Amino acid sequence: MSTNRIISSLRAEFGEAVRGSSSPAAGRLLVDLDRSRLREAARFLINRGGRYQVGVGADERDRTQTFGLIHFFAFDRERFSIGLRTAAPASDPTFDSITPDIPSAGWTEREFRDLLGMRFPGHPKPKKLITADDWPDGIYPLRKDVPYNLVPPSTADVAYQLDEAPPGTTIVPVGPFHATLHEPAHFAVYVDGETIKHCDYRGFMAHRGIEKLCQTQVSYNEVPFIAERICGICGSVHSVAYCQAVEMAAGLSISRRAEFIRVVCLELERLHSHLLLIGVAGHLIGFDTVFMHAWRIREQVMWLSEKMTGNRKTYGMVVIGGVRRDITPEMKDEIFAVLKNLEAEIASFHKAVAGDSSIHGRTKGVGKVPTEEVVLWSLLGPVARGRGVDIDARRDFPYAAYDEIAFDVPVTTDGDVWGTIVVRLLELFESIKIIRQALDKMPSGPVLTEYGEALPAFRTGWSIVEAPRGESFHYVLTGEENRPERWRVRAPTYTNLQGIPRMLRDNQFADFPIILGSIDPCFSCTDRVAVVDRRSGRKRVWTKSEMDRLSRSRS
């Protein structure tokens, strides 16, 4: 179904409720819709093969006296993404919940209930998601009249209300600080004996205020260096996704050489991310030999990253208009040499892991989810591909230079933790293949395209990038003060975490760590909003020299 056919179908179905449409770039469509038909239109797209991506809420009272909401859907095989855009008056920010039909929209609606004061009647779980348990009612952090450094009064003896326990079960708390969790999060696991029957999640404990900060305090060209720190692994993923969204909104085309260099950075990240996760998976099942070998092999990727970017992570490389560093002929030869050795080591490692009966015993049949439920929950990346769902943004929504590169998308039908491990092992070889092609096909030319004029205000762009964990989504609405009017980030963990209760159901409690670990959760990717300066409570803008001194003294 093409964008023309989908807009024609929407107009035929919903008539005057479709107020208009626009296409900011090829494969991108925005449809303006009356809010009274939002749930029906969302269901219409899902029934025609759409996959829910994320929602974007915004405080637009200063321009239109409304609160805006966009729900995005991907048509992967047709290679386009569509946003249903609607608005509600500031006096009544109410939208029908689409969660009863689309479970993966549940967190989006709960998030904007907490942060913008929107209301979603019909939501099956209208509980707090983002703000702290003692956050005062009536203060919504993403509204423009709320200071970014607000410190609200704290209220004692307020606690998150857990889901009601299924009959005959006992609650076992995991977290917020636990040996199997690398970041703070709280899982209330409901068990009948040793069998898990349900799980309630309470996260968002590591807020860093990235979206609010970048909409109020920094400029367009400073955002990439904040974006790449959303995740400790996916630096280039988030900076590329942000920059591509801005470039789309601004109508800026970058050089082909820069696009190929972005591909190299992204695939290096995939290599070291997958090796990290496979090692951690070995550790979680008590097989530290796997952990040691995976991380030993991974070290070569870190050396390459440092050679290319000056950092053991691919930080500081991607900016609006291209990249900051070139790949020299000498560096290219060194990358080829490291890839040759890396491929041989990964082949040996793959053979050992694939045939190990103890790994099979702890991962096969564990965390099993039917393919139809993977689709229902819009699960992403290896979590989806390991359960039979063939999606990959590099192929389905080609960006950077992926349209010129041949590669396979590994998919298994195991449907369990083992399937996700197999997918990651096979993707290691594909990443090596992609990097080699990128280096061979890379044309000459500049690596940075300058954009001399101010970016036009209130233009829309959104970018889809395949992170190691799955699809990352960045939405940008350009603003008037050399910074985004609205920037929305959705990391793949945000979606995959919503599927964890289903993955845990009817498994043994001893398998909780490896089931959770199999999605490669990055809680810091997911915890993005609510800014609080706990020390001073005062608004303060740091100068460049102060930030430079602070970064040097702490590193």
**CATH class as words, domain 210-526:** mainly alpha
- Predicted pLDDT at 284: 87
d(CA 460, CA 249): 5
Cα end-to-end span (Å), the chain: 52
d(CA 196, CA 201): 14
Degrees to nearest 5, angle at CA 233 with 232 and 237: 115
Nearest to 421 by CA among 511, 513, 353: 353
Report the interhelical angle of 256-284 vs 329-354 (nearest 10°). Answer: 30
Residue 445, sorted as left (phi over 0), alpha (psi -120 to 50) or beta, turns out to be: left
For 94-144, the DSSP string reads B----TTT-GGGHHHHHHHHHHH--B-TT-S-----SS-TTPPTT--TTST
Q: CB-side exposure of 81: number of CA atoms within 13 Å?
A: 23
Exposure of 33 by Cβ count < 10 A (0-12 exposed, 13-18 middle, 19+ buried)? buried
d(CA 118, CA 113): 5
Collect the ranges in the chain with pLDDT lower than 70.
1, 156-157, 178-182, 207, 522-555
**CATH class as words, domain 3-152:** alpha beta
d(CA 515, CA 517): 5
pTM of the model: 0.91
* CA 185 to each of CA 154, 182, 202, 284, 487: distance values in angstroms, whole numbers, following the listed order: 20, 9, 6, 17, 25
Degrees to nearest 5, angle at CA 460 with 543 and 72: 115
d(CA 345, CA 112): 47
Degrees to nearest 5, angle at CA 69 with 68 and 74: 145
- Predicted pLDDT at 532: 37
281 three-state secondary structure: helix
List the 460-467 sheet strands across, edge first: 460-467, 470-478, 484-490
β-sheet bridge partners, residue 83: 30, 72
* Residue burial 229-248, b: 16+ Cβ < 10 Å; e: rest: bbbebbbbbbbbbbbbbbbb
**Predicted confidence (pLDDT) per residue in 276-324, tens digit:** 999 989 888 888 899 899 999 999 999 998 888 888 888 888 999 999 9
**Predicted confidence (pLDDT) per residue in 170-218, tens digit:** 988 887 776 666 677 888 899 999 999 999 988 887 767 788 888 888 8
Q: Where do the domains of the chain lie?
A: 3-152, 210-526
